[in-house]
Amino acid sequence: MSVIDQISVKVSAVRQVAPMIKEFSLEAIDAELVPFSPGAHVVVTMAGAENEPTYRNAYSLMSNPQDNSQYRIAVRLQEDSRGGSLFMHHQIAVGDQLMISPPANLFAPEWMAKKHVLFAGGVGITPFLSYLPELQQRESEFELHYMFRSKQTGAYSDELSETLDKNCNNYDADKGSRCDIAAVMAEQPLGTHFYVCGPQSLIDSVRATADEMGIPASAVHWEEFAGAKPGQPFVVELSRSGIELAVASDSSLLETLEGADIEIPNLCRAGVCGQCVCKVAEGEVEHRDSYLSEPEKQSGQVMMPCVSRAAGERLVLDI
């Protein structure tokens, strides 16, 4: 994804939709926004002031996919944020400009499914908000299981239970209500597909439950929105240009490369899409992606710089 593809947008509304979640409406400035497919996301570029780092985060589009007058995203303030969500929460107001990538989709519904079961944790509700108009329009059978803590998250839970009625099940952990994932999954008919978006622990537990029950792995879909986690600082050398860069512990390798104006294609920034793959010339890699196969990881010849890091102090990339 090169810089040319970027769309400049203006923030037209900001809403606090839960104690820790803000919703942003984005309108195009000079172009028209394109319709997108349910489950799509955009990468938002947040250019800080002079000498401030630029952040890029992927956010699911939560507005109606047919509505091209605006896109909406919801951002949860992350306590251990490396910057992006803090920036959105504290620096962005109505009228501000942002750059976004065109929508890309790595989490589309499987329309062959006989039934869709959606598990959302906290701000993980967002991709499902773009599913709902189409699920309803197609009269697909579905149920939503929405887990949150009303003291922090839980945006849209009232509207959802009102409009979806018994298709929506809310679980507010702050009121002691928990979702029995195994019980939900055990009841489902042949042809059901499961979708999970939320914290890693929720994704892991849905996948583990499916595996234990003998539910086919290909019927379980998930979206990780965690992005890069911090790690040890290291030095990266680019063998073709001889450039050397220091990767700080709270920056990803991809962000460091972008900071030096080296554009690497990327769609998800979470180690799932495969776009950002780089060739490794030297050095051990700590693989953290879910894209490369085990043999590819072991070969040590390729890596996904959006999430993976050096295992040692130095890495040489063949770029």
Query: Which residues would be at the binding site for ligand FES (CB under 6 A)?
Result: 266-269, 271-276, 289, 291, 304, 306
Q: Convert residues 173-212 into a mask of x (bound to another protein by CB under 8 A) and - (unbound).
A: ---------------xxxxx------------------xx
Element containing residue 134 per DSSP (H, E)? helix 126-137
> Phi/psi class of residue 56: alpha, beta or left (left: φ > 0; alpha: ψ in -120 to 50)?
beta
Q: Tokens 């507005």 appear where?
A: 63
Give 294's Cβ-side CA count (13 Å radius). 0
Rounded to a whole number of angstroms, the minimum distance from the CB of residue 247 to ligand FES is: 15
Q: Convert residues 148-177 into a mask of x (bound to another protein by CB under 8 A) and - (unbound).
A: ------------------------------
Characterize the bridge pairing of strands 40-47 and 97-100: antiparallel
Query: Of 44 and 276, which has the nearer Cβ to ligand FES?
Result: 276
Quote the distance between the C-alpha of residue 277 and its chain's center: 18
Phi/psi at 276 (nearest 5 deg)? -90, 10
Query: Of 20 and 276, which has the nearer Cβ to ligand FES?
Result: 276
Instruction: Residue 176: name its binding partner from another protein, ligand FES, none (Cβ under 5 to 8 Å by kind).
Output: none
> Phi/psi class of residue 201: alpha, beta or left (left: φ > 0; alpha: ψ in -120 to 50)?
alpha
Query: Of 104 and 179, which has the nearer Cβ to ligand FES?
Result: 104
Query: Of 255 and 289, which has the nearer Cβ to ligand FES?
Result: 289
Q: How many CB atoms sit inside 10 A of residue 77's CB? A: 17
Rounded distance between C-alpha atoms, residue 217 and residue 113, angstroms:
14
Instruction: Residue 291: name its binding partner from ligand FES, another protein, none (Cβ under 5 to 8 Å by kind).
Output: ligand FES
Query: Of 110 and 284, which has the nearer Cβ to another protein?
Result: 110
Rounded distance between C-alpha atoms, residue 122 and residue 198, angstroms:
6
Q: Which of 52, 91, 94, 114 binds another protein (CB under 8 A)?
A: 114
Rounded to a whole number of angstroms, the minimum distance from the CB of residue 263 to ligand FES is: 12
Asked if 95 is part of the footprint of another protein (rule: CB under 8 A), the reply reads no
Phi/psi at 251 (nearest 5 deg)? -115, 150
Instruction: Residue 222: name its binding partner from ligand FES, another protein, none (Cβ under 5 to 8 Å by kind).
Output: none
Rounded to a whole number of angstroms, the minimum distance from the CB of residue 88 to another protein is: 38
Instruction: Residue 304: name its binding partner from ligand FES, another protein, none (Cβ under 5 to 8 Å by kind).
Output: ligand FES
DSSP-assigned beta bridge partners for residue 115: 141, 192
Instruction: Residue 65: name its binding partner from another protein, ligand FES, none (Cβ under 5 to 8 Å by kind).
Output: none
Residue 314: strand, helix, or coil: strand
* 88 close to 39: Cβ distance less than 8 angstroms: no
Rounded to a whole number of angstroms, the minimum distance from the CB of residue 97 to ligand FES is: 24
Instruction: Residue 44: name its binding partner from another protein, ligand FES, none (Cβ under 5 to 8 Å by kind).
Output: none
Handedness of CA 41, 173, 23, 145 (dihedral sign): positive
* 225 close to 287: Cβ distance less than 8 angstroms: no
Q: Which spans of this chain sit near another protein (rule: CB under 8 A)?
A: 112-114, 188-192, 211-219
